[in-house]
A and B are shown apart, each in its own frame.
Chain A
Amino acid sequence: MEDCLAKKMEITVSEAEKRTGRNAMNIQETYTAYLIETRAVESQSEGQCAPVESLWRRYSEFELLRNYLSVTYSHIVVPPLPEKRADFVWHKLSADNMDPDFVERRRIGLENFLLRVASHPVLCQDKIFYAFLMQEGGWKEMVNETGFQLKADSRLKALNATFRVKNPDKRFTELKHYSDELQSVISHLLRVRARVADRLYGVYKVHGNYGRVFSEWSAIEKEMGDGLQSAGHHMDVYAASIDDILEEEEHYADQLKEYLFYAEALRAVCRKHELMQYDLEMAAQDLTSKKQQCEELATGTVRTFSLKGMTSKLFGQETPEQREAKIKVLEEQIQEGEEQLKSKNLEGRDFVKSAWADIERFKEQKNHDLKEALISYAVMQISMCKKGIQVWTNAKECFSKM
């Protein structure tokens, strides 16, 4: 990771702003724009602060960037974007894209995305990416000029390949299964976590009612009054503490979500491989059949039934000149085909090699990140319990003074 952009440059997505503007269909719409700030790191060591460059981008531009990257670098596991719409919400969180909490979490997610791309050894060197960070105007045109959309494989083609491919690399098949499992288990986990959060919220909040009733009750009690009142206060504190706790947990959920989306990126690489492999297999098949045809024409034997054979039998054979011409064409095609096959083979092997290298890198990153996330989750739980202990110890004191 020596030449990573991330090392040379500080990148932050520092602000989010609501804007209104006209979209492609000339309809007024509201969207959120994010401020990207970059600052070169090297000059800092000389005691000067480099100037901060900044520009505004909106979510759709991020999407465009990512599409470009995933098509251009189809052998790389491209980092995912934060979700478009709020998913896995529990009842307190709103599913509204304009909700400030959602916008804030998305801002963090976008910054994370940029940092991941910038720290990837291959992706960070991409010029379009650099322009995304530095050049506000004209970037979209620049991207479209690369014509990457033409290189994109159609979904249908990819699906077809997945079903028909005969000999994909075993490792990729395993990887595909793994990414399917990962996706299903993480989404299940997030769903249940949302429900657990909901319930926990309920438990805490109902205790807040205690606070109210206690203080009402303390009004009619003499000796018990003070104890009740202060205990009620602690109940209120307890009930309020859940909000912060669950907000922190959202951060954990976001980390898991990133890997949920990463699973999709993994699958994309597998699909690409399958597509290439299928292409290769088709080309080889094509070549074989052409060779066969050539042979048949040359030797005059018809080994396989063909319409041409039938018609020639019915309507007379071709003239030798015609046959010669055909053979020549076929031989040219065969030669072309063989070269193509060779290059495809090479391509395929290169793809597999570089893809697998990136996958290994990804695996390490994933293990490291997930482990950290799990640890921080545990730490969160511990702090939640510590808070609980504190509140209840205080409450206990109040009760014993009643």
Chain B
Amino acid sequence: METEGRVPGPALPAGGEGRGADSHVVAGVLGTARGPLLAAEVLALDDEEDDLEVFSKDTSLTEVNSFSPSVPISPSSMINQYKFEDGPELRDLFITVDDPESHITAIETFITYRVVTKTTRGEFDSSEYEVRRRYQDFLWLKSKLEEAHPTLIIPPLPEKFIMKGMVERFNDEFIETRRKALHKFLNRIADHPTLTFNEDFKIFLTAQAWELSSHKKQGPGLLSRMGQTVRAVASSVRGALKNRPEMFTEMNNYMETFSQKINLLDKIAHRIYKEERDYCNEMKEYGPIHTLWSASEEAIGDSLKGLAGCIDRCCRATERRMAGLSEHLLPMLHEYILYSEILMGVLKRRDQIQGELDSKVDALANKRTEKDLFSEEIGKLEDKVERANNALKADWDRWKQNMQWDMRSTFTNVAENNLRYYEE
């Protein structure tokens, strides 16, 4: 049984939205019976007042219980991997998503997931919460966050449904993939210095079903949101691009190329997966032939049987390799495809805001009213966006590196296994 310990660290300051706070580094330390000590890594980019750093983390998380040291690791297949940074501190919000269940009502069938939250934060009334949420609730949360922080990078949600292949919405594999993605989604929000204190987020984690539905109804209606969109489109059409600072043009170009490359990589990875699967299937036929042959031979019969055994083991090693691919590389690539879409969206929104700024500046040139207020407000937003982007960029590089490092070491292991198994 694995034991977990925790290292006491300075408590997190409670922060409100948009309030200035010192940039902080947060890490959790997890001790296991056999694994190395691991900690979350956070990149603190700048010391400005607006703390908009985005936490970086590896893809897979596990249930970490900050209170009882003998809670068993959740049965999910994810492994927790963190890297050491200086000054480990404590995360105070731990979320897991698990236990999908389907509910059948008169109108529809849907799946709910259990969301378990454990926290030490003061503003939470209790230290543990367990609620059930369905996909629609997650969508709602995401749109609220986007509304409140149009220029921050909100983590991606798994898609509503996959276009190709999946017929059954409640296919087990699909549910599991979605569950993992939802888990990641919530944890990324929790690690984000600003988003984590969002009120809607808190309600999402803590409210009972009926509370949540009544809260949902309070938000700005669909019509007003549509109005916003129309204005936004209009303003962007009006040539918000002409004043765009150099940096954002660069970012736009970068994102275009990046998203192209990521899509290609995703295709390649899927192709490799398919080829490996085909290879495995052929190997499955290859082995038994040798066994069959050994039946008619006397002297070389044993060698043939040995070869057949090795081929079978190769098959299994290949299967493990494929599993490694599908568990790590493919989801990671997929997430970044979504991310690239999100980032394009963020850049667009930034452009919109700038558009507003520009149009207001133009208007002010004519009217000279409320000048300071507007431009200041808009300038601030711009800076926010800037910093958010930088933070994400730098930090995801490191993040990706860790990811790929893991993937490759899986491959190396497979190659080594192959070697061992191929000896006659």
Contact = CB atoms under 8 A, between A and B. Distances in A.
Interface of A: 178, 181-182, 185-186, 188-189, 192-193, 195-196, 199-200, 202-203, 206-207, 209-210, 213, 216-217, 219-221, 223-224, 227, 367, 370-371, 374-375, 377-378, 381-382, 385-386, 388-389, 392-393, 395-396, 399-400, 402
Contacts of B258: 217, 220
Q: Which 4 A-B pairs have the closest CB atoms?
A: A199-B279, A367-B299, A378-B424, A202-B275
B254 A220 contact: yes
18 contacts: A185-B293, A192-B285, A195-B282, A196-B282, A202-B278, A202-B279, A203-B276, A206-B271, A209-B271, A213-B261, A217-B257, A217-B258, A220-B261, A374-B300, A378-B423, A388-B415, A389-B419, A402-B397
Nearest to B301: A367
Contacts of A392: 408, 411-412, 415
Chain A binding surface, main DSSP class: helix
Contacts of B286: 189, 192-193, 196
B279 A203 contact: yes
A402 B405 CA distance: 9
A210 B271 CA distance: 11
Contacts of A209: 264, 268, 271
Contact of A371 (B264, B299, B405, B416): B299
A185 B418 CA distance: 26
Contact of A385 (B271, B290, B293, B422): B422
Interface of B: 253-254, 257-258, 261, 264-265, 268, 271-272, 275-276, 278-279, 282-283, 285-286, 289-290, 292-293, 296-297, 299-300, 303-304, 307, 310, 394, 397, 400-401, 404-405, 408-409, 411-412, 415-416, 418-419, 422-424
Given A178-B296, A378-B422, A399-B405, A206 B268 contact: yes
A206 B272 contact: yes
Contact of B289 (A182, A185, A374): A185
Contacts of B283: 196
A302 B248 CA distance: 119
Nearest to A198: B282
A217 B261 contact: yes
A389 B413 CA distance: 8
Contacts of A189: 286, 289-290, 293
Contact of B412 (A200, A367, A381, A396): A396
B408 A399 contact: yes
Contacts of A196: 279, 282-283, 286
Given A206-B275, A210-B268, A392-B408, A371 B303 contact: yes
Given A202-B278, A203-B279, A206-B275, A399 B264 contact: no
A224 B268 contact: no
A396 B419 contact: no
Contacts of B408: 392, 395-396, 399
Given A382-B422, A385-B416, 12 more contacts: A182-B296, A185-B292, A185-B296, A189-B286, A192-B289, A200-B279, A227-B401, A367-B299, A371-B300, A377-B307, A378-B422, A399-B405
A385 B296 CA distance: 31
B397 A221 contact: yes
A213 B397 contact: no
Nearest to A219: B257
Given A195-B282, A203-B279, A213 B265 contact: yes
Contacts of B400: 224, 402
Contacts of B282: 192, 195-196, 199
Contacts of B300: 367, 370-371, 374
A220 B261 CA distance: 10
Nearest to A180: B296
Contacts of B257: 216-217, 219-220
Contacts of A192: 282, 285-286, 289
A377 to B, nearest CB: 8
B419 A385 contact: yes
Nearest to A196: B282
Contacts of A382: 419, 422-423
Given A202-B279, A392-B415, A374 B307 contact: yes
